[in-house]
Structure 1
Amino acid sequence: MVYGSEAIHPTNLDYGAPRVRAYDEQGAEASLEDTMDQLDEARDVALLRSAKYQQALRRYHSHRVRGQAFNVGDLVLGLIQSNKDRHKLSLLWEGPYVIAEVLRPGVYKLKTIDGEVFANAWNIE
Structure 2
Amino acid sequence: MTPSRATGYTPFFIVYGSKAILPIDLDYGASRVRVYNKQGAEASLEDAMDQLDEAHDVVVLCSAKYQQALCRYHSRRVRGRAFNVEDLVLCLIQSNKNCHKLYPPWEGPYVIAEVLRPGTYKLKTIDDKVFINAWNIKQLRPFYP
TM-score range, shorter chain: 0.5 to 0.7
TM score, norm. by length of structure 2: 0.49
Corresponding residue number in structure 2 for 1:60 = 73
Q: Match of 1:72, as an amino acid?
A: V
CA contact (8 A) 2:121 2:135 kept: yes
Q: Number of residues paired by the alignment?
A: 104
Output one character per residue of 1:46-90: Cα deviation in whole Å (capped at 9) or x when no partner.
2221111111212232333232232333222334567x86xxx69
Show structure 2 runs of 5+ residues with no match.
Answer: 1-19, 28-33, 139-145
TM score, norm. by length of structure 1: 0.54
Question: Which portions of structure 1, spanning 4 or more consecutive aligned residues, are displaced by more than 6 angstroms?
Answer: 89-92
Aligned pair in 2 of structure 1 residues 93, 49: CA closer, same or farther (>3 Å)?
A: farther
Task: Name the CA distance, whole Å, in 1 between partners of 2:102 and 2:44.
Answer: 61
Identity %: 68
Larger Rg: 1
CA contact (8 A) 1:107 1:124 kept: yes
Mapping for residues 68-107 of structure 1, pairs under 5 Å: 68-79=81-92, 93-96=105-108, 97-103=110-116, 105-107=118-120
Corresponding residue number in structure 2 for 1:11 = none
Task: Name the CA distance, whole Å, in 2 between partners of 1:123 and 1:77.
Answer: 12
Q: Is 1:122 matched with 2:135?
A: yes
Q: Match of 1:95, as an amino acid?
A: E
91-100 or 31-40: which moved more? 91-100
Note the aligned Cα RMSD (angstroms). Answer: 3.7
Show structure 1 runs of 5+ residues with no match.
Answer: 8-18
